[in-house]
Structure 1
């Protein structure tokens, strides 16, 4: 028997999602202790994992996956992991959110995001719904199709969602401390937010600074907070020289500091002995962090 925290770690799912799938969709019925605490069986975990894979890998709605799960159980068909299909199509969710952005309807955006997080795994929402939405909004702003106020509204809402999830995961004190920044002049931080979410999932203590971080005074903050790694992101190729300025200056004054550089403006190869350039692949992030921790 497992408690909900153990199940959360086994399935890599927030406890809030487990409770939602249990109470709202009746995906499983855990047992209860005498004091009323949930206890989950191996079968419960298998069922949750199956629903998660249907939702995350096959783009199925939670309600549909649960309905199919119950049908399989009624017919006494063993639940097994589905084969991974092509990436789910979330255009309907993206377009509905985009229309709410056009109307400057923040309340509707919140409702739609709540619905997405209740239907899909949080990683799917961030990577497959929010990221394409933000690219769509950003392009519309650059093309003069929407006002900057609309772009700012959805950017702030998305930032709030990321921050909420950053607080969910427990940090591990034995892992290196990370500071996440965008260089001065860089306002686009969606890539940095995604990488910070990944680090939080893995237990890294992360200080998220975010967009438009000046180099002035940064050295002191790094030393005062015992930061081991700087994660820095840019969406523009022209910012590579600015990032190199940050790295050169900080490396001279804090020789042991490590740097992870990502975003659309950089390549995906290692540069130097204490600098790693990453791409947008989740697997690549895991490999890089393993290598960084060995140094």
Structure 2
């Protein structure tokens, strides 16, 4: 069971702490718990309630009406909303509730509706990535458990693998080898890049998480890819990033190395000539479009 301060609720729901306190007093909407030292805190059920209240309130329900709803009534209203058109922010709140409740069916419903209405790409860029940023905040403040984070990450990973499998390489195009360095396990961005590249008709050699350098070299010798793509989120440590990228450049001088992730965009990193930094790995989509224009022109 996680615990949250009123500031945590404000940050995660968009409702000002002052407003939450007024709702507590006027409508008895939520009742904070207290520690042995009399410090106020909120639990998972309180966070879920505030997120649902925020979603309903953003969609035209008055707080006086929301406060009178039973848990079942509120759930029915939320389900009805998630089955229709909702603002991206509201969908992110709904996904956060799905994560807290370990609700796979709710998560699938929201993603399926979005994929049908705006497409898989836009769902990833406008809903899933902002949602993952919110998860990052929750993780930093210790507001979610490893089980909740793994649950939601694996669901997104499954969706990406299914999307990738829709495309079968037909020959031609460029060769892209995708990998994460040793110790790096956050592969959702890498999987999304694999999806974008494969959809464009290029060959993808996907090595995935925590790839040892010797394995990378062995596969490289066999396939001789035009591009290497990696994402540095936590590994290597920031002080070793430049050294790591220089090693990649020396080891694979004939390939263009595309790199993204927090460890390279958090500060100024000097890179060799054949290394390209992308602020967001999804920018590979636009790079592929420009590359196709050059190929077609020639």
The answer, yes or no, to whether TM exceeds 0.5 is yes
CA, structure 1 residues 288+62, in 2 after alignment: closer, same or farther (shift >3 Å)? Answer: farther
DSSP 3-state at the match of 2:257: strand
Query: 2:117 & 2:187 partners in 1: Cα distance?
Result: 25
Query: Match for residue 34 of structure 1?
Result: none
CA, structure 1 residues 270+241, in 2 after alignment: closer, same or farther (shift >3 Å)? Answer: closer
CA, structure 1 residues 250+144, in 2 after alignment: closer, same or farther (shift >3 Å)? Answer: closer
Q: Is it true that 1:114 corresponds to 2:107 in the alignment?
A: no
Query: Match for residue 10 of structure 1?
Result: none
CA, structure 1 residues 247+219, in 2 after alignment: closer, same or farther (shift >3 Å)? Answer: farther
The gaps in structure 1 that reach 5 residues or longer are 1-60, 65-87
Q: Is it true that 1:222 corresponds to 2:220 in the alignment?
A: yes
> What is the CA RMSD across the aligned residues, in angstroms?
3.4
Query: Match for residue 278 of structure 1?
Result: 278
Query: 2:120 & 2:238 partners in 1: Cα distance?
Result: 31
CA, structure 1 residues 138+253, in 2 after alignment: closer, same or farther (shift >3 Å)? Answer: closer
Corresponding residue to 1:94 among 92, 103, 114: 92
Matched pairs, number: 211
Deviation at 1:220, TM superposition (A): 0.6
DSSP 3-state at the match of 2:262: coil
DSSP 3-state at the match of 2:208: strand
CA, structure 1 residues 235+89, in 2 after alignment: closer, same or farther (shift >3 Å)? Answer: farther
Q: Is the contact made by 2:190 and 2:230 (CA closer than 8 Å) also made in structure 1?
A: yes
DSSP 3-state at the match of 2:149: helix
Structure number with the higher helix fraction is 2
Query: 2:238 & 2:169 partners in 1: Cα distance?
Result: 31
Query: 1:191 & 1:179 partners in 2: Cα distance?
Result: 14
List per-residue Cα deviations over 1:147-202 (Å, max 9, x = no partner): 01110011111011111111223435222211112222223233323322221232
The gaps in structure 2 that reach 5 residues or longer are 1-81
- Of the structure 1 ranges 89-98 and 244-253, higher mean CA displacement relative to structure 2 is found in 244-253
CA, structure 1 residues 283+154, in 2 after alignment: closer, same or farther (shift >3 Å)? Answer: closer
Corresponding residue to 2:233 among 222, 232, 235: 235
Query: Match for residue 171 of structure 2?
Result: 173
Deviation at 1:112, TM superposition (A): 2.5
Corresponding residue to 2:132 among 110, 131, 134: 134
Query: What is the TM-score with the length of structure 2 in the denominator?
Result: 0.60
List per-residue Cα deviations over 1:75-124 (Å, max 9, x = no partner): xxxxxxxxxxxxx9412221111101101122332232222222221111
Query: Match for residue 35 of structure 1?
Result: none
Query: 1:292 & 1:193 partners in 2: Cα distance?
Result: 25
Query: 1:125 & 1:216 partners in 2: Cα distance?
Result: 36
Q: Is the contact made by 1:231 and 1:260 (CA closer than 8 Å) also made in structure 2?
A: yes
Q: Is the contact made by 1:237 and 1:266 (CA closer than 8 Å) also made in structure 2?
A: no
Q: Is the contact made by 1:234 and 1:262 (CA closer than 8 Å) also made in structure 2?
A: yes
Larger Rg, first or second structure (1 or 2): 2
CA, structure 1 residues 96+104, in 2 after alignment: closer, same or farther (shift >3 Å)? Answer: same
CA, structure 1 residues 238+226, in 2 after alignment: closer, same or farther (shift >3 Å)? Answer: closer
- Aligned counterparts, 1:157-236, within 5 A: 157-171=155-169, 173-236=171-234
Q: Is the contact made by 1:183 and 1:214 (CA closer than 8 Å) also made in structure 2?
A: yes
Query: What is the TM-score with the length of structure 1 in the denominator?
Result: 0.60
Q: Is the contact made by 2:236 and 2:244 (CA closer than 8 Å) also made in structure 1?
A: no
DSSP 3-state at the match of 1:216: helix
